[in-house]
């Protein structure tokens, strides 16, 4: 789709959201590769099977949007609001989810960094704003932090080697202990 066609769909969707006529955005199967959707208002939109590879969705509102089986490889979802969004089966490999809101988002069978997600388990933010996310995946538990994707043991080794004896290092270990407790609790519930 061209940027002009996207703008037309967004305008029509905006009228629909405001109850002024228009119609719900149907971008199912659309080729939105590298599309600039910065701050787009796509709440409730249908983006099933859309190709959003390398799309810029910074600050986009995607609450209740259906992104089932969408390809979000390397997409920029910084500060995107994905509250209640359906992302089941979506490919999020190397997507930037910094400060994205994923409250109640359905990530069942979504693929992030080559692993299949069952659910977001916990998130924590260090004093310097660096965010850590604990994912429960079919292949085990993984921690995403910036561009890093680690198991708990790999995370401890990395931050011990790079931050040991510093205030941020101590805080990072506290976060990892918090994640370890969540993993233990989840395994007992299973």
Tokens representing 162 are 């790079």
| CA neighbours closer than 13 Å in the CB half-sphere of residue 144 | 25
Q: Could you give all domains of the chain from N- to C-terminal order, each with its CATH number?
A: 1-112 (2.160.20.80), 119-190 (no CATH)
pLDDT of res. 109: 86
Please give the structure tokens belonging to residue 156: 């401890």
Going by the DSSP 8-state scheme, the letter that residue 128 receives in this structure is T
Please state whether beta strands 115-125 and 148-150 pair in parallel, antiparallel, or not at all (unpaired).
Answer: unpaired
pLDDT at 113: 77
Give, for all 190 residues of the chain, the pLDDT tens digit.
898 999 999 999 999 999 999 999 999 999 999 999 999 999 999 999 999 999 999 999 999 999 999 999 999 999 999 999 999 999 998 888 878 888 888 888 888 877 888 888 898 999 998 889 999 988 899 998 877 889 999 999 999 999 999 999 999 999 999 999 999 999 998 7
pTM, rounded to two decimals: 0.74
Tell me the HSE value of 181 on the side-chain side, using a 13 A CA sphere: 6
What is the per-residue pLDDT for 57? 97
């Amino acid at each position: 789709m061209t940027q002009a066609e996207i703008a037309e769909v967004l305008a029509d969707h905006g009228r629909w959201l405001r109850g002024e006529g228009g119609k719900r955005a149907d971008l199912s199967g659309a080729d939105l590769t590298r599309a600039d959707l910065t701050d787009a208002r796509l709440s409730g939109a249908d983006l099933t099977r859309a190709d959003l590879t390398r799309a810029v969705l910074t600050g986009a509102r995607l609450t209740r949007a259906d992104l089932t089986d969408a390809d979000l490889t390397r997409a920029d979802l910084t500060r995107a609001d994905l509250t209640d969004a359906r992302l089941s089966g979506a490919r999020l490999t190397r997507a930037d989810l910094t400060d994205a809101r994923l409250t109640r988002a359905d990530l069942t069978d979504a693929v992030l960094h080559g692993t299949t997600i069952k659910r977001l388990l916990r998130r924590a933010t260090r004093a310097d704003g660096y965010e850590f996310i604990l994912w429960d995946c079919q292949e085990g538990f993984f921690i995403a932090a910036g561009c890093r994707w680690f198991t708990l043991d790999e995370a401890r080794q990395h931050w011990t080697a790079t931050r040991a004896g510093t205030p941020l290092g101590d805080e990072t270990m506290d976060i990892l202990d918090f994640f370890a407790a969540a993993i233990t609790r989840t395994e007992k519930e299973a």
